[in-house]
Chains A and B, each alone.
Chain A
Amino acid sequence: MNEIKEWVSENIFLGLEVKEYLRRLITPFNIVAAGILIIGIPLIIIRYMQGLGAVIHGSNDQPFSLFLGWGLFCGVPLAATGYIMASAVYLFGMKDYKPLLRPAVLTGFVGYFFAVIFLLVDLGRPWRLPYPMVRSFGTASILFLIAWHVALYLTVQFVEFSPAVFEWINTRKLRKWAEGIAVGATIFGVILSTLHQSALGALYLLAPTKLHPLWYSPNIPIYFFISSIYAGLSMIIIESTLVYKFLPGRVDPQNFKVIDRLTLGLGKAASFVMITYFFLKIIGVAHGADWHLLFTRPYGYQFLIEVFGFVLLPCFMYVFGVRTGDAKLIRMAAFASVAGVILNRLTISMFALNWELPHREFIAPKEFLVILTIITIEILIYRWVVNRLPVHREHPKFTGEED
C-alpha cells in the first residue's frame, strides 16, 4: 500500500504535496486553458443533446465542415510523426535520432487518438463508431479502409509507446516484450500509415465534379501521402522546439547538445521531400492541362500562394538552414511547412470543394470554439504525459537498457 502511495505521489503529483501541486497549477497558461474549457465543454454537451446542427456548421451540400476539416484532415498528417521516426531509427539504422523517437511516437499517438475524439463529436451516431469494425463492412468504401487502418494504427502506436508506460509503472518484463516487437510494429505502422494517409486523399476521388481542378487529380492519394511525410518531419521539429523551450526540466541534459544537429538532419530530409512534392504538384497541373486556371481569382492565386509560398519557400528555408547550419531557420521553416499543410488540407476539404456552389459560409464561431477546446485538451494531456513519463528523458531505473 505504501509503495503505491509513494508511486502516486512521485509520478502523479510530481513529488509535491497535493496542496502544493494544486497551488502550482495556477499559471497564466492554465487559466486561459480553463477558460476555453469552461466555454467549450458545455458546447460539446449541447451538441450531443441537440444534434449536430447546434454546434457544427455542416450543410446538406457541404457535409464536412471546419470541424472534420481540422480534426481529421489536418490532424492525421500532423500526427504522421510516429512512423517516420520509427522507420528512421529501426529500419534505416539512424540511432542518432533516438532522443526524438519517443516524443514522435507520443505526438503521433495523441494526434490519432484525438482524431478519433473529433470523429466521436462529428459522427451523427457516435455510439455506432465500432460498426465498420464489427457490424457491417462496406468494403468498396475508402472510408472503410481509413476506419480500419486508424483503429489498427492507434493500437500499433500504443504498442510502440508502451515501453515508456511500462517503465513508468515499473514492469520490466512487459517492457522487454514491448521493445521486442518494436521492429515488427514499425513495419506494420508504416504500411498502415502509407495506406491511410493516402486514403484520406482518395476520399476526394469520389468527388471529381466537386473539387476544383487545380487540386483534383487522380494522384491526390500520393499528394496526401508525400505531404504527410514532411508534415510529420516538421511536427517533430516543432514539438521538440516547444518542449525544449517550455519544459526543459523534463529533457535529458545531453539532448540539448545534439538537438540542433538532429534538427538540421530533419530539415534536410524535409527539404528533399518538399522539392519532390512541389514538382509533383506542377506535374498534376500539367496533367490536367489546367495552366489557364492558375491566374483565376481566387482559386488560381490561392493555389500559387500555397505552392510557392508554403511549399517552395519553406523548402528553401530548410535548405538554406541546412547549408549554413542555422537551426533557428530550420525551426521557422517547420512552422511554415505545417502552416502550408494545414492550408492545403483545409482548402481541399472546405474551400475548393463545391467551389461552384453559391452562398457558402465558412465562419462559424461555435464550431471554432469546440475545435479550440479539443485542441486545448490535447495539449494539456500531452503536457501531462511529458511531465510524468520518460518521453524526453530516460527513466532513472531503466537507463542504458536500450538494445
Chain B
Amino acid sequence: MQSLFDLLTYTKGIEYIIAVSFLLVFVWFWKFAKGGEMVTVAVEREERVRVPGMLENLIGGFLLPREYFYHQGHTWVKPVEGDVVAIGLDDFSQKLLGRIEGIKVPSVGTLLKQGEKGLSVIANSIPVDLLAPVDGEVIAVNPALQETPGKINRDPYGEGWLVKVRAPRFRANRSGLFSGELAKMWLDEVRGRLMTRLSPALGTVALDAGPAVSGIAERVAGEKWNDLVKEFLMVE
C-alpha cells in the first residue's frame, strides 16, 4: 500500500499539482508586479506642481516681490538679520526649468563669489548651474529641500530658499543687483526676449491650463532646453 507521499512524489500526480499551483502563483505574481504601478502613479500626482499655462505666465508676468534684490542670473537675495542673507531662485527661473528634482549646493563654509557659479539645481535629471548673487560664506542649507525639492517651484521666495550666506560685502554687492522699478524693467526685457522664441505650433499646447511638469524651456526648445536655460541664467 503506497503512502500518500509516495503517491504524490513518484507519480504524475505531483506534476499536475505543481502545474496548477504555478497558475495560481502566476496570477498573484501578475497582480503583485502591477500593484507597484498604481502606487507610483499616485505618488507622482501628489508631487505634481501646478504650473499655470505658459501663455498665462508670459501675459500675466512673473512674480517679483518688492523687498527682494535680483541678480541678472535670476537668483534673488533677501537680507535676514545682520549681515546674513538668504538666496533662492526667482519665479522666472523656476517656471523656466519646470519641476525641480533636487539641489546641489555647496556645504557650509564654502565661499561664494558674486557672478560666479556656486549652486545648482537638478531639473530633467541634469544639474543646472546658477550664478551666486553675492559674495559670502555659506552658513546654512535649506534642510526641507532634501525631502521636497518641489518647494522651490511652489514657494520660490519663501519656503524654497536655497542657502543662507554671511555676506559682509553686501552693500558693495548691491550695485550688481536689481530691485524695485529697475527689476521690473529688467524682467520685462527678459520676458520679451523669451517671447521671440515662441514658435507658432506651441500655441495650441500652451493654452491647456492643466498641471504641467515640464518647464517653459523644454516647451520652447525641446531637447535643446539646457542651452536655452544657460542663456537666460547667464551661465557659461
Contacts and interface: CB of A to CB of B under 8 A. Distances in A.
Q: Give yes or no for direct A-B contact (beta carbon below 8 Å).
A: yes
Interface residues of B, number: 22
Given A253-B223, A254-B223, A324 B36 contact: yes
A120 interface: no
B19 interface: yes
A291 B30 CA distance: 29
Most buried by A among B9, B26, B36, B125: B36
A194 interface: no
Given A254-B223, A282-B18, A286-B15, A272 B40 contact: no
B138 to A, nearest CB: 30
A88 interface: no
Nearest to A318: B33
A323 B39 contact: yes
A5 interface: no
Interface in A315-337: 319, 322-325
A202 to B, nearest CB: 22
A291 B39 CA distance: 40
Interface in B58-114: none
Contact of B125 (A257, A282, A286, A322): A257
A319 B18 contact: no
A375 to B, nearest CB: 32
B9 A286 contact: yes
Interface in B1-46: 9-10, 14-15, 18-19, 21-22, 25-26, 29-30, 32-33, 35-37, 39-40
A14 interface: no
Interface string A255-290: 011000000000010011001100100110011010
Contacts of A283: 15, 18-19
B35 A323 contact: yes
Interface of B: 9-10, 14-15, 18-19, 21-22, 25-26, 29-30, 32-33, 35-37, 39-40, 124-125, 223
12 contacts: A253-B223, A272-B33, A275-B25, A275-B26, A275-B29, A279-B22, A282-B18, A286-B15, A289-B10, A319-B33, A323-B33, A323-B36
Interface of A: 253-254, 256-257, 268, 271-272, 275-276, 279, 282-283, 286-287, 289, 291, 319, 322-325
